Every structure is written in C-alpha cells, then in structure tokens.
Amino acid sequence: MMVAMRIAIAGGTGTVGRRTVTAAQEAGHETVVLSRSHGVDLATGKGLVAALRGADAVIDVTSIATLNGARAVEFFTATAKHLLAAAESAGVGHVVVLSIVGIDRVPHDYYAGKLAQEGVVAASASPWTILRATQFHEFAAQMFDRAKAGPLHLAPVARVQPVAAQEVAERLVALAAGSPQGRVTDLAGPQEERLSEMVRAFARATGHRGWIPALRVPTRQMRGMRAGGVLPGPDADRGRQTFSEWIAQL
C-alpha cells in the first residue's frame, strides 16, 4: 500500500520539474515547490528551511542556462550545499537528485557543474539517491532556440539518446517514495538519435522552413557528445517514448 508523503521539488517550475510535481500529486503525494516564484532561493538558501519543514523527501531538478563551466560549478555547488543543509536542519529523510548520463566521461562546461553537484551530495550526511538520465526530447527545442548565428538557426552535431521528461519525472517520484539508494541505474531513451536531425525535425514540426546548417560546436562538452560520451551503457534502463513519438504530439 502506497503511503502518502510530503515531497518538495527544487526547480519545480522547469521542464522536468513541472512534470515531477504533477507525477507526485497523481501518485497521491503532497507537493511543495522550491523556486524563486514560490519565495525560495536555492542559490542563497533563502526560505529553504521553512519550506522543507514537514517534508519527507526532496527532489532536486534545478538547472541553470549556461555553458560556462565555472559558473555551472559555482551554481550547482552552492545550491546543493544549501539544499542539503536545509534538508538536514528540517529533518528531511531523503534527498533525490537528477543528474546526467556520462558527465564523468565529459566533465566539461555545464556537465562540470553537474559532476560537482554529485560530489557535494555524495559527501553529505543526508540520505541520498542520484538518478542519471540522458537528455530530454525537449533538448531539440532548446538547441533550436539557443544555437543561432544572427537570424540563422543552427543544428549542433552530437550523439544523444533522448528520454521523455515525463518518464524521468515518474522515476524520480518513485525513487523519492522509497529508501535512499545512492547512485541508481541510469535512465535513457529507447534509441540513439542525431541531435542535428532532432533540431531540424523540431523546426519542421513547429513551422520553420528555413535552412538549418549542421554545426560542429567547438566546445569540450560538445566534442564529448559527438564522440558518444553521453550515451548510456548497456545496463541502463530504457524509456518507452521515442523522439519521433514526442514530435508527433507537438
């Protein structure tokens, strides 16, 4: 029999955060959103302890829009430390953190921040679980919006195996409802995709008809992604929804 819990979601207004809030509520849990719009600032710790009082578990799906490694490390280190300290102070029994597949193989740029976050969590006294997942299907939309040269959209070249954000959210909630497990089995999408083709498919599905040239982005993170560094291993769990199925729903 499922026991209803009070689950706090850090970053609960983002792509996977919104889905995590909904998945937790649909599973019968009470939710608390930890975000600036809800009076909580993870970067400074403001409002965290009060928001976490009475929570049984907290799920951390925070993110930052940067490719700068130093900034990512600073952000994820600070937010992890503040969240863990507040969780311990409030008596939260389980901290669940979403991370990314392959960040130890590609420890650069944004991924350097996620690796630093994992280190802070693993070294803490709080009971914890870390789930690494591959990029979401929405990664194509993010690249379409961000990879530009003036008015021209670009399609970065990389090897990815995207997973549905909804499936990641459901897994996070199931983990939060259980006992702390440390690092758990990775979660990946059902099949490998070319990021450049994903970006073009998203563009077509949303009405863009312009030329979108492929681009080999010369950053260390993107070089690692082109080499397959963020693809899952053979033991990773596989999600159900393919990128093509996600596109068809737009």
Model pLDDT, residue 3: 79
Model pLDDT, residue 2: 63
Inter-residue contact 6 to 25 (CB < 8 Å): no
In a domain, 92, yes or no: yes
Range of the domain at 174: 6-248
DSSP code of residue 143: H
233 pLDDT higher than 70: yes
What are the tens digits of pLDDT across the range 128-149? Answer: 999 999 999 999 999 999 999 8
Residues 6+ apart with CB under 8 A from 99: 114, 117, 118, 130, 131, 132, 133
Model pLDDT, residue 1: 53
Tally of domains within the chain: 1
Q: The tokens 């089995």 sit on which residue? A: 185
13 pLDDT higher than 60: yes
Model pLDDT, residue 226: 97
Which H or E run includes 114? helix 109-122
In a domain, 201, yes or no: yes
In a domain, 1, yes or no: no
In a domain, 197, yes or no: yes
Strand pairing of 57-60 and 30-34? unpaired
What are the tens digits of pLDDT across the range 106-133? Answer: 999 999 999 999 999 999 999 999 999 9
Q: CATH number of the domain at 95, please.
A: 3.40.50.720
Model pLDDT, residue 67: 87
Model pLDDT, residue 186: 98
Average pLDDT over residues 220-226: 97
Tokens of 9: 């979601």
What are the tens digits of pLDDT across the range 22-80? Answer: 999 999 999 999 999 999 999 999 999 999 999 999 999 999 999 899 999 999 999 99
In a domain, 244, yes or no: yes
In a domain, 16, yes or no: yes
84 pLDDT higher than 60: yes
In a domain, 168, yes or no: yes
What are the tens digits of pLDDT across the range 154-195? Answer: 999 999 999 999 999 999 999 999 999 999 999 999 999 999
In a domain, 80, yes or no: yes
